Structure 1
Amino acid sequence: MSLTTTMTTGSATSTQTLGFLHVRTVRGAARCVLHAPEDDAATEPAEPTEPTEPYVLLGIHSLGRATLVRRGSAEACLPGDLFACDGAEPFVLEEEGDFELHLVRIPRRALTLTDRQVRELGGRAPFTDGTVASLLGPLLRDITGLRPGHAPRTALRLAGAVADLVGLLVAEDAVSGPQDGGQDREALMARLRAYVDANLWDRNLTPASVAESQHISIRYLHKLFEGRGSTVGRWIQHRRLEEARRELARPGRDDITVSAVARRWGFASATHFSRSFRAAYGMSPSDWRDGRTTPV
């Protein structure tokens, strides 16, 4: 992540890696903190060891008040307020006094969010309340204070917990936001998702069977998911990968095989499961199970 500060005298920056998360903390006196995309030739180049893959950036202050400027708008950002940005978009934090800012980068592959969901999340005002934000904010502050050297498995589990909460944050925001189809449509979507969750094990789970379960046409089913920037097939795949990832992460399951998990969650084969898992999370299922990771 390319990050610069104006008047850098007296400022301090520390970084660490936690599983697939990259955590950066900036402390200092009143100044502007600028985030600029890596491909912006007007900014300093990113560190050579940092990746250029797409990511989402979460930010939270432990100390200080700032004005968050992005997409031509300015919003107040107080201690404890959580904000999210697409890593490809620039923003400026105008810090009003002494501050401590934590920025946590999550690879897009670990979130399986659509482009539309990332854009909408990056356009939201800082989260000041809400069930998920009240859990995610303190967790982010806590992980920034962890000392280096924690077990790889623990680091991966914590990173996975953050990724899960970001997904829930997006879902909570979608439900609590403006309704364009009324409560009936939202209730239908809830039933569709519940049916998918109850039948993830079934290799024959298809858009046709999902539509039939609610007595709607396949065309209308696709329209419902298109309105949320996704497809039925991608949602089924996403949920299968999430549940497989959770099972592999359970303590005391070191002897569980990748093939068994693939069968349990409806994948056609262990090969297909491993390929899909690596594409989503950047590592093999066995590496995730065993707590092995490489720096992001």
Structure 2
Amino acid sequence: MTVTASHSLAHRAEDFARWREIVSASFVPLEADPVGPGPFAGQVSGRELHDLAVIEVDAMAHRVRRTPALISDGGTGYYKVSLQLSGQGFIVQDGREAVLAPGDVAIYDTERPYTLSFHEEFSTLVLMFPKRLIGLDDVDLSVLTAQRLGADDPVAGALVSCIARIGDVLPTVDEAIGYRLARNAVDLLGTILATEVHSGPRLGDFEQKLQLQRIKDHIEQHLADPTLAPGGIAAAHFISARTLHKLFEPTGTTVAAWIRRRRLENAHRELLDPLLSGMPVGIIGARSGLPDAAHFSRVFRAEYGYAPSSLRTAA
């Protein structure tokens, strides 16, 4: 899936060769194989909203695989959250395998190999979004991938309600409202997943990771403040600047680089938001803590390879 303007998806296949094309174009590149002889039919329907997608898959038995070779081709990393609507599914990732019955939810990462198998006719609803939108560390979220989150699980209950509701509402609203609803759903998912990650059994450095997450949350809440800097962040959390920098060392980046990255990602997201299409590009930068328009344009181009105005025009 590429960053595009909003559009509806409605594709049907009556043979497996066509199905291979459809599933790769609708999600990320995938290998697809039939699991038995005989005829095949399948369809995908839903909406892509810039960098988000809500897609229902209704198909006969088959298997899809995200292989190391396909992952090595690069591209945006996504999380996919699937709600099994009918039939039974099997997901394998990170050395775990889960059986999914109707009402079950599973989370998986497109930057690590996975296999999804369906041995009977099925329906599933998938919410797919860039990993950067929820700000969770891959290692942290890996404790939840390829696990059956059933109806008796409080996390699953919240996810099911969220995904099912947005799947119902999106076909009835316009692009701007649809995008905002999808973003709100992803934000809610991020909160739910972060809560589950940090409340589950952890090893060794849990307290440090929890403190780092609190600091990242503080940064998110103050991105619009152009004076946001390591010294003030450290003081707000009653730690020294040295301790703050040590907390960020395992992430492979610095505090300042993290702030800059999150500001640019926030601006990137707002430039794609149809509800903000009338807002000047310079104001978008200022809302993310980059009030100097020339500097904003320069660092944005350095990060993404194109100017903020070019992104808005393309969208």
The two structures have a TM-score, normalised by structure 1, of 0.69
Q: Which residue of 2 aligns with 1:14?
A: 44
Deviates more, 1:84-93 or 1:59-68: 84-93
Deviations 1:21-65 (A, max 9, x none): 344433245x34223248349xxxx9xxxx944333322211123
The 2-side partners of 1:110 and 1:277 are apart by 20
Could you say if the C-alpha distance between residues 216 and 89 of structure 1 is closer, same or farther in structure 2, counting changes exceeding 3 Å? Answer: closer
Q: Among 41, 56, 71, which residue is 1:25 paired with?
A: 56
Q: Which amino acid aligns with 2:57?
A: V
Structure-2 change in CA distance of 1:85 and 1:164 (3 Å): same
For the residues of structure 1 that align with 2:190 and 2:307, how far apart are their CA atoms? Answer: 19
Matched, 1:72 2:101: no
Contact 1:114/1:229 (<8 A) preserved: no
Sequence identity percentage: 25
Summarize deviations over 1:114-145 as a string: whole Å, max 9, x none: 55456x266352333345x5444334334555
Matches of 2:200 and 2:75, distance apart in 1: 32
Q: Aligned partner of 1:18: which letter? A: E
1:34 matched to 2:76? The reply is no
Q: Distance in 2 between matches of 1:85 and 1:223?
A: 30
- Which deviates more, 5-14 or 184-193? 184-193
Change (3 A) 1:106 1:194: closer
Task: Tell me, yes or no, if the aligned pair for 2:300 and 2:307 is still in contact at 8 Å.
Answer: no
Query: Is 1:91–2:111 an aligned residue pair?
Result: no
Query: In the alignment, which residue of structure 1 is the partner of 2:105?
Result: 82
1:64–1:98 Cα contact (<8 Å) kept = yes
Match of 2:242 among 219, 226, 251: 219
Deviations 1:153-195 (A, max 9, x none): 2343234234323432442233212345689757755764565
Secondary structure class of the residue paired with 2:69:
coil
**Separation in 1, partners of 2:263, 2:187:** 14
Question: Higher relative contact order by CA 8 Å / sep ≥ 6: 1 or 2?
Answer: 1
Distance 1:123 1:235, change over 3 A: same
TM-score for the superposition, normalised by structure 2: 0.65
Residue identity opposite 1:14 in structure 2: V
Retained in 1: the 8 A contact 2:215–2:233? Answer: yes
Residue 130 of structure 2 aligns with an amino acid whose one-letter code is P
Q: What residue identity is the alignment partner of 2:52?
A: L
The 5 A counterparts of 1:146-225 are 151-180=174-203, 188-189=211-212, 192-193=215-216, 195-196=218-219, 199-225=222-248
| Counterpart-to-counterpart distance in 1, 2:240 and 2:146 | 33
Q: Note the alpha carbon deviations across 1:95-118, whole angstroms, 9 max, x for none.
A: 354421233432345555555456
